[in-house]
Amino acid sequence: MSPPTPLALLVCDTPIPSVLSNHGTYHTIFHKLLSDSYPFPHKPSVVRTREPEVGTAVEEPRVERPILEVPTQEPNEEGLKSILKTPSPSRPSLDLEEDAGPFVLDAYNVFDGEYPSEDEVDRYKGILISGSAASAYENVDWINALIDYVGTIAKTKPAIKLIGICFGHQIIARALSGTCVPNSGRWEVGPTSVDLSDVGREVFGVGRFNIEQFHRDHVPSVPPHFEAIGSTGLTPNQGMVLFYRREGGTALVREESGGSMEKGNSGASANGNTRALTNGTSKSDTSPRRSLNDIQILTLQGHPEFTDGIVEHIIEARASVGVLDKPTTEDARRRVGEGWRNDGVGVIGRVIWGVLGVEV
């Protein structure tokens, strides 16, 4: 039996009390997404955490801060070294036991300055970055530190996969020469159908997917070397992928030992049928192509970890204090009530595991 896949979750917020009491912490919510979408039968993975018990958090009122345009910054190497050298107190041991299930997900509350130490970070196969009620363009210390950290990990430790969700998607963009701005004051909330680009079809194997949304900021353009995966009428950039670089115009190269990759081509055939990327091989298909494991970074503007139940709690909380206007609230309630298919587990979660190197 293989040892569990070690993963880190950079937690960027605390759930509102009604979500916390009914669904748990973001650590628990992401753990459930990964467990439910794991492509093979497995024993339950242990949730290793030192977060507060469910129901102990106290909600602080959401403060609407003035919008500040903050330029993209180069990673602060000295600041990152300081972060990496600061151990996280009471962190559970990273020793991986074979009976721990298929993966181990360690959570770090980055809004409190918690990060994997220099010794810890190299042991992770991937780092996931959660959503947040904060705005990724805010010029505050913990967000600037997170941007520094993510940019440096992406540039100096490319073997570690990065998965950014909503706020995490926006942080990755800012860390790698992109921007995040308000989406003209427009909220995108509730189950939403995303139309996929050619690259998105290649990655996910479908023409569109449904995903829960809860945001009013967005990444207006794709940073250098990234490719957009899809769009909606409100948000033209619904996520991005960064494939490992090409060397000499042909081979995909991962900057780590044993790094040569397959050559790539389009995932769509001439008749328009979509061929999904996988990490397996097909005896009937001898043409070289990119695989999910060739992706270094995957981001999503939506929330594959959210369910209708989670979104419903947030809708009511935000509407009750006037953050959501009446038309947005009524439209989101309507779509939640229609029982849309949620592709967070069956489509998106499967791809996340493929990016992390698991055959799907």
pTM of the full predicted structure?
Answer: 0.81
DSSP codes joined into one string, 142-159: HHHHHHHHHHHHHHH-TT
Euclidean distance between CA atoms 159 and 263, whole angstroms: 18
Same domain, 325 and 355: no
What is the residue type of 269? S
Of the listed ranges 121-125, 191-195, 251-255, the one predicted with least confidence: 251-255
User: pLDDT for 130-165, tens place per residue?
Assistant: 999 999 999 999 999 999 999 999 999 999 999 999
Euclidean distance between CA atoms 316 and 39, whole angstroms: 34
The pLDDT of residue 175 = 98
What is the residue type of 25? T
Same domain, 299 and 333: no
In a domain, 25, yes or no: yes
CA atoms in the 13 A half-sphere facing the CB of 196:
22
The pLDDT of residue 118 = 86
Looking at the chain, the whole-number percentage of residues with pLDDT higher than 70 is 72
Q: What is the CATH number of the domain that holds 76?
A: 3.40.50
What's the whole-number average pLDDT of the chain? 83
In a domain, 63, yes or no: no
Same domain, 163 and 21: yes
Same domain, 229 and 334: no
Phi then psi for residue 353, to 5 deg, are -65, -35
In a domain, 152, yes or no: yes
- Within a 10 A sphere around the Cβ of 346, how many other Cβ atoms? 13
In a domain, 274, yes or no: no
Return the structure tokens found at 255: 């900057």
User: pLDDT for 94-124, tens place per residue?
Assistant: 555 555 689 999 999 999 999 999 889 999 9
| SS3 assignment, position 194 | strand
In a domain, 191, yes or no: no
The pLDDT of residue 195 = 99
pLDDT range class, residue 3, cuts 50, 70, 90: confident
Same domain, 39 and 130: yes
Residue 26: which H helix or E strand, with range? helix 26-37
Same domain, 236 and 317: no
Q: Are strands 161-165 and 126-129 parallel, antiparallel or unpaired?
A: parallel
Domain around 334: 308-341
In a domain, 275, yes or no: no
Same domain, 174 and 231: yes
Euclidean distance between CA atoms 138 and 131, whole angstroms: 14
Higher pLDDT, 90 or 331: 331
Same domain, 299 and 332: no
Same domain, 330 and 234: no
Bridge partners of 161, per DSSP, are: 126
CA 272 to each of CA 107, 227, 241: distance values in angstroms, whole numbers, following the listed order = 41, 20, 21
The pLDDT of residue 225 = 96
Q: Considering its fold, how many domains does the chain have in total?
A: 2
Same domain, 235 and 336: no
Same domain, 223 and 357: yes
- Within a 10 A sphere around the Cβ of 253, how many other Cβ atoms? 16
In a domain, 75, yes or no: yes
Q: Where are the alpha helices (DSSP H) in 115-213?
A: 118-121, 141-156, 167-175, 198-204
Ramachandran bin of 49, using left for φ above 0, alpha for ψ from -120 to 50, beta for the remaining angles: beta
The C-alpha angle with vertex 10 and arms to 67 and 111, in degrees rounded to 5, equals 50
> Could you identify the residue written with the tokens 């029982």?
339
Euclidean distance between CA atoms 330 and 317, whole angstroms: 14
Same domain, 176 and 312: no
In a domain, 154, yes or no: yes
